[in-house]
Copies of this chain bind each other. A is one copy, B any other.
Amino acid sequence: MSVSEEAIEVVPARRGRPGYDQQQVLEIAVQVFIEQGYDATSVASLAGRLGLTKSALYHHFESKEALLEVALEEAIGSLEGVLREPGAQSGSARERLEYVLRGAVCVLVEKLPYVTLLLRVRGNSDIERAALERRRAFDREVTALVRTAQIEGTVRADLEASVATRLLFGMVNSIVEWYRPTGAEGAAELADDVLAVALDGLRTR
């Protein structure tokens, strides 16, 4: 209890094997959630993958759902961040739209596992529903951008803005289903491909 005793152990005492911090636990947990599905993943299998017991895992996180919450925040927070960047705030609506699409592709690639998890959430709990609502708000902002671009005449107006936006993000979001960071095709090239198809289509000119 004396002041001198406090300094004896600076590094926390350890007995068991790995010694994870919260970030490492989160990364592996998200990976397992993606492989097996969040609901199908038991805390036991999660602990097994970490080489820990359930109890040790509960030392790092309060609950299985707390892990999900942190992971979803990482994903949706980053996407929301794109809308707040200067490039998404100035210029023509089409320039801003392009900026947001590129930004979204980059976030998808940089935070691939977190965004993958976000896109699979179906609203089974308050935490999932909150994440879904923030996704919908993001969609609404982009839809407004598409609508403005249609009015300024830079985006074709024979489609509903909401349909166009959903098709766009269908394309963007599908990236999590197949893109793997091989190094060959980076986020920038991928964003170029997405923008190429989205703006000019696949037809030869």
Closest to A195 in B: B201
Complex interface: chain B residues within 8 A of A163 (CB): 185, 190, 193
Task: State the CA gap A178–B204 with chains docked (Å).
Answer: 30
Q: Is A177 an interface residue (CB 8 A)?
A: yes
B170 in contact with A175 (CB, 8 Å)? yes
A interface secondary structure, majority: helix
- Size range of the interface on A? 35 or more
Q: How many copies does the complex hold?
A: 2
Complex interface: chain B residues within 8 A of A205 (CB): 156
The A161-190 residues at the B interface (CB cut-off 8 A) are 163-164, 166-175, 177-178, 185, 190
Binds B, one of A21-29, A31-39, A49-57, A64-72: A31-39
A200 in contact with B201 (CB, 8 Å)? yes
Task: State the CA gap A197–B171 with chains docked (Å).
Answer: 11
**A36-B124, A170-B173 are known contacts; what are 11 more A-B pairs with Cβ within 8 Å?**
A39-B39, A39-B40, A155-B204, A159-B197, A159-B202, A167-B174, A170-B175, A171-B174, A173-B174, A174-B174, A199-B203
